[in-house]
Amino acid sequence: MTNIQDHTLRYALANELHARPFPSLSAPCFAAYLAIKQPADAARRDRERDRAHLIALLDRFGAQHPRADATHWFGQIGRFRLKWESHTEFVTYTVFGDGVAGRAFDRDSFSVFPAAWLAEAPGVRITSALIRVEAREPDDAGIDDKLGAWFVPESLAVSEVLEGAALVASDFRIDPAGHMRMAVFTDPAIGQRRTGRIVQRLAEIETYKTMSMLGLARVRDLSEKMSALDRDLSRLMDAMTSEGARPEETLQGLLRVWAELETVQAQSSFRFGATEAYEALVTQRIGALRESRYRGRQTFGEFMMRRFDPAMRTVKATRRRLREMSDRALRAGDLLRTRVDVARSAQNQELLGSLDRRADLQLRLQRTVEGLSVVAISYYAVSLAAYALEPLMTLAGISQTVGTALLVPAVVALVWVMVRRVRRRLD
């Protein structure tokens, strides 16, 4: 075989596809699920704190530690199994146990997470859920009674999944113990891994749904500020068309509004982008369940369409509104800058015209001065010539007055020709 060097990440990338297997579960059993997110005001997520919190839990049960760079861990802790996953914004803990409590969704089922350990969590709970898995009785005997006792009928969603392999139900409400409730009724012929996939997908639907709703909370926080900026933008655009407005001040106001909009966009872009990604995951996970209607009740997909999709449309509409407002402010600023440039060009044109008129007047004055200079130069030249030619005029019998009079035309003509030649040379 020809030797070839592998990419340093080849095996790591290939193994990543198989690193997070679904758990194997058999009814009856339960899952206690917890998702922890570090506070939004934290400068950056400290993954080492998340890992230290996991190790603190593992040490309570003497379990093996994960690798230093691990983003997931699955193993036995006492008589339970724990699945830990580190995501971009949060970490999740899922404890799987055999059997179910006599009282459905008993808060003691969550006691697999020690209270002292929960108090030391490096963040806040974004969601938690208790998932109860039971075997499905023939003809679904007693299921309607259980659903009526466990969930709020008004928001209950029930559906058969995976071609009837199981029945899943939830009302997506937080119960008095602070947890979401989800129930799974499995067909006797279903495989253990298939049951594990259903439970895992239900937990993911709840988590991604909750993380998506953070975008709606961000929209509500921005609503008042965006309305104020919209009013300012409309007022400034109205001022652009008024006669008494000062374009420079209006331009400064538009630039201020645009800068604030850009700041809001920069601060919200991650949350809006994450909301879009989480929404896609919720849709994908529900699609993977391959739902079918059960006794006329609403499915998970229908519940999300009525309750979840409007919130996501609100987030998308707000994101579009932010972009449109920013573009509108930028376009208005460009138009106003063009208006200011046109006004300045007109002022410059008037200034150049004034300079042209002044230059023309100066030229006329210069020509007038040149005429006077011919007279002045001629006066002194005639005087000098008269003194110089006085002896010759005496010898010729011409009086000084007559001789001077004869010199004037010749001297004036000569001076005029010289001045004109100099002016032409300069031009």
Query: 123-179, pLDDT tens digit by residue?
Result: 999 999 999 999 998 888 889 999 999 999 999 999 999 999 999 999 999 999 999
CB 25 within 8 A of CB 192: yes
3-state secondary structure of 80: strand
Give residue for tokens 């008993």. Answer: 106
Give residue for tokens 């988590």. Answer: 207
Whole-number pLDDT of residue 330: 81
Give residue for tokens 């119960």. Answer: 175
CB 13 within 8 A of CB 6: no
Q: What are phi and psi of 6, to 5 degrees?
A: -80, 150
3-state secondary structure of 125: strand
Please report the sign of the dihedral spanned by the C-alpha atoms of residue 309, residue 40, residue 47, residue 31.
Answer: negative
Nearest residue to 176 via CA among 205, 150, 146, 209: 150
Eight-state DSSP code of residue 304: I
Burial of 140 (0-12, 13-18, 19+ CB in 10 A): middle
Kind and range of the H or E element at 219? Answer: helix 192-240
CB 201 within 8 A of CB 288: yes
Give residue for tokens 């080492």. Answer: 48
Amino acid sitting at position 144 = D
- E strand spans, 25-118: 29-37, 72-77, 80-86, 90-98
Whole-number pLDDT of residue 349: 82
pLDDT tens digit sequence for 251-287: 788 888 888 888 888 888 899 999 999 999 999 999 9
Residues of the chain with pLDDT below 70 are: 1-2, 18-20, 40-44, 243-245, 367-372, 374, 423, 426-427
CA 193 to mean position of chain CA atoms: 40
Burial of 15 (0-12, 13-18, 19+ CB in 10 A): exposed
CA dihedral 48, 54, 56, 57 (to 10 degrees): 170
Does the N-terminal peptide bond of residue 188 adopt cis geometry, omega within 30 degrees of 0? Answer: no
CB 190 within 8 A of CB 201: no
